[in-house]
Amino acid sequence: MSLSSPLFRLIAVAVTAHVALGAARVTTALYALSLQASAFTVGTLIALFALVPMMLAVPMGRAIDRIGMRKPLMIGCLLASAGVLLAATVSGLPVLYAAAMLIGTGFMAIFIGTQHAVGVMSLPEQRTANFSRLSLGFSISSFTGPLIAGFMIDHVSYSFAYLSCGLFTLTAFGLTVSGTLTHISTQPVTQHIAKGSPLQLLRNRELRRVYIIGILLAAGWDMFTFVTPVHGSQLGFSASTIGMILASFAGATFIVRLAMPGIVRRYREWQILTVALTVTSLCYLVFPFMETPITLAATAAVLGLALGTSQPNVLALLHSIAPPGRGAEAIGIRATIGNASSIMMPLAFGAAGATLGMFVVFWSLSLAIAAGVPLAASKAMAQTRKKLSTPQE
C-alpha cells in the first residue's frame, strides 16, 4: 500500500480523527472530574459522544449513498474541530455537553464515510484485508489518543489537550480536501439503485444475521473495557496492573489485525466469525475464575485475538450483502446499533453486577454470545460446502 494511495489516505483520515476522539473522551472525563462533577455527570458526558451519533448515523449513511463521502467527511472534520476548540477556549462544565455532541457527531460522519469508501473501492477478494488495515489503524489510534491526552493534561493543561485534538481533526480535514481523495467516487456506478426505508434493510435475513453477530461481538468488546476495571478492583489490583491487563487485550487486537490479510486468504468471513464467537464466549465463561494478573492478562489476550477479527469481517459482509447504493446506510444502521449498545450494555450489566454479582455478568454475556454461534456456524458450513464444490483451477 503506497503512502500516496487513496486507501492509505482514507485510513490516515480515519486514524487521525480517531486519535482526536479518544483523546477528547479521556480529557472530557478527567476535566469534568476536576470540576467536581459526579460520576453520573461524567457518565452522561461520555454517553453524549454516542447518543447523538446513534440518532443521526442512518440519515448520514443515506446522505453518503446519495452524494458520496467527501462532503460528509469535510463536515465531520469541521464539526469535530469545532467541538474540541469550543472545549479548549470556553471554561466550565456546561460547554462540555455541547462539545461532546459536536465531537461525537463529527467522528460518526468520518467513521461511516471512510468505512463505506474502503468497501466501495476494494475488490471483493481484497475487502476484508483492506478493512483489516483500517481496523489496524484504529488499534493504533485507540492507544495513541488517551496517551496524548494524559501527557498534555499532566504536563500542560486541559485546554492544550483539547487543542492537540484540534490539530488531529484539522489534519484529517486537510487530508480530505487534498491529494488523491479528491478523485474518489463512492457513488454507485450501476443505474439501478435500491431504495427503501431502513426497516427494509433490517427485514433482509442475511443483513439481520450480520447485525446480530455484530451486536454480540461488539457487546463482548464494550463489556471487557467496562468489567475489567471493576473485576480488577474487586480483586485488589492496582491501577497499573489493571492497565497491563487492558494493554494485553489491545496488543492482541493489533497483532491479529496485522495478520488478518494472511488469515483471510485461508478462511472465509463466517468461518472466522464463528471462531471469534466461540472463543469470546469461552473467555467470558472462565473470566471470573481468573484471579491473578497473569491469568487475567492471558485471558484478555485470547479475547483480544478473537474480537480483533470481528470488525473487518462484519464490514466486508455488510458491503457484500447490502443492496446497490445502500452500503453506507447499512453501515449507518450498524453504527446506530453499536452506539446504542455502548450506552445500554454498561448500564444493564452494571446494574446486574451491583445486585447479582460479577459471576452473573460474565456468564450471562457468555451465554448470549454463545447463542450466536449456531447462526454463524450455519453460514460457515455453507461457505465451506461452496468452496469444496467449486472446481479448482
- What is the pLDDT averaged over residues 106-125? 83
For residue 189, tell me if it sits in a domain.
no
What pLDDT score does 190 carry?
47
pLDDT at 53 over 50: yes
Q: Which of 10-19, 69-78, 279-288, 359-368 has the lowest mean pLDDT?
A: 359-368
Asked whether residue 69 falls in the same domain as residue 217, the answer is no
Rg (CA), the chain: 21
Q: Which residue did the predictor score with more confidence, 242 or 104?
A: 104
Segments forming the whole domain that contains residue 36: 1-183
What pLDDT score does 103 carry?
92
What pLDDT score does 191 carry?
44
Please report, to the nearest 10 degrees, the dihedral formed by the alpha carbons of residues 128, 130, 136, 142 taken in order: -100
Asked whether residue 161 falls in the same domain as residue 258, the answer is no
pLDDT tens sequence across 183-221: 555 554 444 455 666 677 777 788 888 888 888 888 888
Asked whether residue 116 falls in the same domain as residue 213, the answer is no
pLDDT at 78 over 80: yes
pLDDT at 369 over 60: yes
Number of independent structural domains in the chain: 2
- What is the pLDDT averaged over residues 294-302? 91
pLDDT class for 383, splitting at 50, 70, 90? low
Distance CA 53, CA 103 (A): 10
What pLDDT score does 44 carry?
75
pLDDT at 338 over 90: no
CATH of the domain at 253: 1.20.1250.20
pTM to 2 decimal places: 0.72
What pLDDT score does 240 carry?
67
pLDDT at 29 over 70: yes
And the C-alpha cell for 377?
Answer: 456456524
Placement of cell 461511516 in the chain: 112
- What is the pLDDT averaged over residues 21-47? 78
Asked whether residue 6 falls in the same domain as residue 46, the answer is yes
Domain boundary among 129, 160, 183: 183
Asked whether residue 173 falls in the same domain as residue 223, the answer is no
* CB-based burial label for 189 (10 Å; 0-12, 13-18, 19+): exposed
For residue 19, tell me if it sits in a domain.
yes
Asked whether residue 268 falls in the same domain as residue 310, the answer is yes
Distance CA 16, CA 120 (A): 21
Asked whether residue 9 falls in the same domain as residue 66, the answer is yes
Q: Quote the mean pLDDT of the chain.
A: 80
Q: Which residue did the predictor score with more confidence, 375 or 386?
A: 375
Asked whether residue 131 falls in the same domain as residue 248, the answer is no
Asked whether residue 128 falls in the same domain as residue 255, the answer is no
Percent of the chain with pLDDT over 70: 84
pLDDT at 248 over 70: yes
Please report, to the nearest 10 degrees, the dihedral formed by the alpha carbons of residues 180, 186, 190, 196 taken in order: -170
And the C-alpha cell for 58?
Answer: 442512518
For residue 241, tell me if it sits in a domain.
yes
pLDDT tens sequence across 140-173: 887 777 778 877 887 888 888 899 999 999 998 9
pLDDT at 228 over 80: no
Give the rounded distance of the alpha carbon of 328 from its chain centre. 15
Asked whether residue 218 falls in the same domain as residue 354, the answer is yes
Distance CA 355, CA 14 (A): 40
Asked whether residue 156 falls in the same domain as residue 135, the answer is yes
Distance CA 380, CA 393 (A): 23
Asked whether residue 216 falls in the same domain as residue 355, the answer is yes
For residue 190, tell me if it sits in a domain.
no
Domain boundary among 142, 163, 183: 183
CB within 8 Å of 345: residues ≥ 6 apart: 219, 222, 223, 226
- What is the pLDDT averaged over residues 96-118? 88
> Left if phi > 0, otherwise alpha if psi is -120 to 50, otherwise beta: which for 391?
beta
What pLDDT score does 328 carry?
77
pLDDT at 360 over 60: yes
